């Protein structure tokens, strides 16, 4: 596939970015290193909580979704990065063994008022578990280059 530019990404486009299955060992390693709250890192303590066992750190879930977003969309585009995430929400816990499906939808496009070689695209990313419960949601606005006149179509 050729590189996609600002003009190539339509508002309303929905991309199925694939799935990720939460591995218990990976969840524990991530939690021990980056988010050592007992609900993520201590199975015995987590067992006694309202969750009944360990759950994925929201940051691990976000990172897993981000990987699928890069592999399934951003790696094939002329993106220059993002301004950050907006409205990041962890909606439903992710447990070891859960498989989550990630989708991205283009919500809006705005041309840059100061640079005619780029525009801004706002995307909504959502992941659901096997029961179709939303587990994470965010919006982000990325900077995309416009198609150069000499770029192949």
Mean pLDDT of the chain: 96
Domains in the chain (CATH in brackets) are 6-145 (3.10.129.10)
Residue corresponding to tokens 């990404």: 9
pLDDT 10s digits, 105-132: 999 999 999 999 999 999 999 999 999 9
**pLDDT value at position 153?**
66
Q: What distance in Å separates the CA atoms of residue 74 and residue 135, rounded to the nearest whole number?
A: 22
Assess contact for 18 and 73: CB atoms under 8 A. no
CB-based contacts of 55, cutoff 8 Å, min separation 6: 39, 40, 46, 93, 94, 95
Tokens read off for 8: 């190539």
Alpha carbon 91 to chain centroid distance? 14
Question: Can you list the residues of the chain whose pLDDT is less than 70?
Answer: 1, 151-153
């Amino acid at each position: 596939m050729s590189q996609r530019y600002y003009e190539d990404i339509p508002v309303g486009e929905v991309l199925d970015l694939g799935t990720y299955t939460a591995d218990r060992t990976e969840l524990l390693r991530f939690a021990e290193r980056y988010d050592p709250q007992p609900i993520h890192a201590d199975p015995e303590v987590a067992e006694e909580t309202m969750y009944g066992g360990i759950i994925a750190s929201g940051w691990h879930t976000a990172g897993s979704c981000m990987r699928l977003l890069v592999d399934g969309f951003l790696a094939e585009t002329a993106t220059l990065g993002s301004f950050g995430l907006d409205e990041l929400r962890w909606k439903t816990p992710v447990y070891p063994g859960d498989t989550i499906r990630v989708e991205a939808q283009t919500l809006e496009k705005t041309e840059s008022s100061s640079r005619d070689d780029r525009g801004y695209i706002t995307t909504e990313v959502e992941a659901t578990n096997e029961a179709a419960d939303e587990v994470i949601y965010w919006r982000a606005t990325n900077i995309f280059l416009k198609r150069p006149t000499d770029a192949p179509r």
